[in-house]
Each structure stands twice: as structure tokens, then as C-alpha cells.
Amino acid sequence: MKVEQDLERKFNDQCAVFGVYGHPEAANLTYLGLYSLQHRGQESSGIVTSDGSSHFIEVGMGLVQDIFNQEKLSHLHGDLAIGHNRYSTTGESLLKNAQPLAVDYSLGSLAIAHNGNLVNAVELRNRLEADGSIFRSTMDTEVIIHLIARAESKNFVSRVVEALLQVRGAYSLLLLTEQEMVAVRDPHGFRPLAMGNLDGAHVFASETCAFDLIGAKYVRDVEPGEMVVASPQGIKSYFPFQKKNRAQCVFEFIYFARPDSTVFGQPVYSIRKRMGMELAKEHPVDADLVIAVPDSGVPAALGYAEESRIKFDMGMIRNHYVGRTFIEPSQQIRHFGVKIKLNPVRGLIEGKRVVVVDDSIVRGTTCRKIIEMIRLAGAKEVHMRISSPPTTSPCYYGIDTPTKGELIASSKSVEEIRKYLGCETLAYLSRDRMLDIFGKNRDDFCTACFTGNYPVLMPGMDMLQPNLFETVT
């Protein structure tokens, strides 16, 4: 059935955006911003600048440091810049899908950088193509460009509103014309977008770690449903959309964002550590040592250790220089893919009852190999602790998750997963405990990957999952 195939499709729009309005070193600063947001996307990267009358563009495949150099940056003229990192996927990895997308249309030059995923992009694209639009990429983001180009308003900002009123799903966007920059977050606020200031210039970033690198000051978040317009007339804020319930992605805190960032106004590191502390309260165990699966599991493991008063140590070491591909010897090495990244420290683990903390289990394949490696390093017992609830449902709003069938917790109980992983005990942080950490803001988050309750439905989803509803308040 077509609808089911669409729902099972892998979505690949986990990305970073960065923008500078009104700084003579806009391109260099954007390069640095993208550099610090590399964890949000490694497939491709790009910068578009404006000198007030023309756009300058540089996009490429690969890492920020490999794409840009002094010479390329010197061609990116002007005080205005937006940049983008795109996430690496198993799907199409093509230059035509690199962002920012830059076009010329009836009002002039336009560039767009998008983090998120539009759930009705296929519908809209079919309609636009039937009306004669020609698409040059396979990205949902291009739909927005066509909707802006076809909008009726004379004024650019009104055109953006007209376009965005037609799209549904997740978007944190930066748009650039010759003289204006628009920063906008969808009404649910799925993905983050922060605003800052550097020597009087306005800066925008997916995460505040980008501000830290360039010495900018974090001012506030672009609010869900807010559109911030920076132009020669100054900076203005609009709320042009119907208000919706907040549905900020809780997975940003669990895994995705850098721990030194502030997202959705909250410091990631301390939230992640609290998740580990709550996990220790909810699922204590008698053990000798707490170790983390580095790097993402470290803050939660420290929280677990602090709360349980069990010693933490770096029982597993990550190789930070692992590239995309590695040449495996012809005589295959068992668990080579995981081993090349992670290796247990035998001297710490041998003879111990070990608590291993990781942030999440997706397919369970990595986790299983890690547990086996820890056993081979001499652990007496292995107790797996996960600082988030079981991931049962794919994300349609911009986190790269596999299809439902591949998510181990979609079909197996915790006990079945434990048996598959081969550990003495396995426990996850409950959704309630996790949300308790956010206090009065506990209802501001999307937890669809743990519940299957999607705040914005995919087309056809109501037929497949009649218990779900769209939040339109």
C-alpha cells in the first residue's frame, strides 16, 4: 500500500543552520559556526552570502573543513550570510541536495537553509509539478522555494508567510534575500533555533555552541511560530501562524545536540546528566563500576554514578579519528565496525560488575556488540542502563531514525531486548521521569519516537493509526 510505503520511508533531514546579519566577516563567521555544528550533519555543507545586491554561493560534499578554504571564503562577499550542514544518510547523497538552496526568481535572489522535515512535501510537490514547477533536487525544502515564488503578495516577507501557511511539519529556517534575512520556526517548534549578538550583528544558529566559538552572546530562542526579520530597517518579530502546542524534540537533549549547547532555552549537559540521575533512582543496581558508551553516554553515566555513588571511570575509549570508510583486512575481524570506534579498557573492567550507560538503543546491533566486547574484557556482570525510554517509532520531523520494523523496541519487550543484547539486566528511563526533569515545561516536548503519538500527522497516517490526532489548539 502506497501510504504505508511513504510512512516507512527513511527521513533524512537532520541538519544545522547558521546565519549572520550585518557583520563584515559574515562568511568566515558562518564557516566557523558550521564547523562547530558539524555533529548535526556531515554529508554536505554550504554558505550563501549577500553584499546587498548579489548572492555568492559555495556548496560542497563532505565536512566543513574539507569544503571551505581561505580562497573559497574570500569569494563569499558581503555582510550577510547563511550556512547549512546536511546529515549523512544511506540514501541519496548528492551535491544537488546540498544546502543552502539558492535561486533567482521574480523578486530577485533567494537562498534557504532548512533543519527539519515537512510532512506534506510530497503532496505539495505533486501539486506544484502538476502546475508546471520543475524541481532540481529531491529535498522537501525546495517546495518552500516554489511556494514563495508562486505566492501572490508583492512583499517578500508576506510571501514567506503565504508559503509557510501551506506546509506542515518541522522547520527551523533561515532565508536570505539581497538585503533581508528571515529566521523562522514552525508553530510546534520541533527543531531548535537560537538568536545571538556579535558586535551589534544578529546571529542565528541551531545550537548555541556555534555562538561560543565566534564569541557571540546568546540572546534568546526564535520562538515556535515566530518569524524574525532582519533588514536595513532593523529587526522585527512576527507571529503569523495559528498558535499550536509546543512539540520541541526531546531527542535533542538525549542524543543529538552537543552537551555544551543550550537548546530550547535549557543547557543540554545538565539535562543529560539529570537523565542519568533519574535513571539511577528509577533503576538502581548493585555494581562496582559505572562506564559510558562515549561520547553521547558520558553525561548520563556521570549522573548515574553521582546518584548511585558507584565509581565512574572511562572504561571504554573512543577513537576520534575514525573516518567514513576503513579498509578491513580480508580475514574479517569480529565486530570490526564497532571495534574501530570503541575499545574497552581491560584493566578497569576485569572482574567487575559493570553498569554501562548509553543514551538510546535504536536497532540494538551496536549495543549488543559493545556488551560482548565488555564481557571479553573480563566483566563479571554487565548491567545496561539507557537514559531514555525505548525508541519504538520513527521520527518524521527531522531526526534520522530507521523504519519502525528496524527499531528493536517496536516489536520486542524489554526482557526480549535484554536477551538479545546478552546482559544481566537492562533498564530504560521512563517517559514520565524524563519529562519530570523539565518541571512546568514537561508538556512542551515531542516524544513521538517513544509513544507513536505524532503531533503532526503524516498524510494517510490517520487511516493507519486511528488513535492518533493532530494537535491544533
Using CB under 6 A, list all residues that contact ligand AMP: 255, 293, 296, 358-367, 399-401
Would you say 186 or 359 has its CB closer to ligand AMP?
Answer: 359
Smallest distance, ligand AMP to C-beta of residue 421, A: 8
Smallest distance, ligand AMP to C-beta of residue 368, A: 7
Is 367 one of the annotated active-site residues of the chain?
no
Q: Residue 381, class by beta-carbon neighbours within 10 Å (0-12 exposed, 13-18 middle, 19+ buried)?
A: middle
Would you say 50 or 85 has its CB closer to ligand AMP?
Answer: 85
At 444, the amino acid letter reads D
Catalytic residue of the set 15, 209, 423, 449: 15
Would you say 41 or 78 has its CB closer to ligand AMP?
Answer: 41
Smallest distance, ligand AMP to C-beta of residue 431, A: 17
By C-alpha distance, which of 392, 388, 391 is closest to 358?
388
Smallest distance, ligand AMP to C-beta of residue 155, A: 39
Smallest distance, ligand AMP to C-beta of residue 55, A: 33
Task: Report the chain's terminal Cα–Cα distance, integer Å.
Answer: 32
Would you say 172 or 388 has its CB closer to ligand AMP?
Answer: 388
Smallest distance, ligand AMP to C-beta of residue 250, A: 12
Cell numbers 508567510: residue: 161
Would you say 160 or 293 has its CB closer to ligand AMP?
Answer: 293
Pairing mode of beta strands 181-185, 227-231: antiparallel
Pairing mode of beta strands 266-267, 262-263: antiparallel
For the record, the C-alpha cell of 462 comes out as 490517520
Would you say 180 or 400 has its CB closer to ligand AMP?
Answer: 400
Give the integer Cα–Cα distance in Å for 174 and 465: 33
Would you say 222 or 395 has its CB closer to ligand AMP?
Answer: 395
Would you say 227 or 257 has its CB closer to ligand AMP?
Answer: 257
Smallest distance, ligand AMP to C-beta of residue 99, A: 19
Smallest distance, ligand AMP to C-beta of residue 51, A: 38
CA 63 from chain centre, in angstroms, equals 17
Catalytic residues: 15
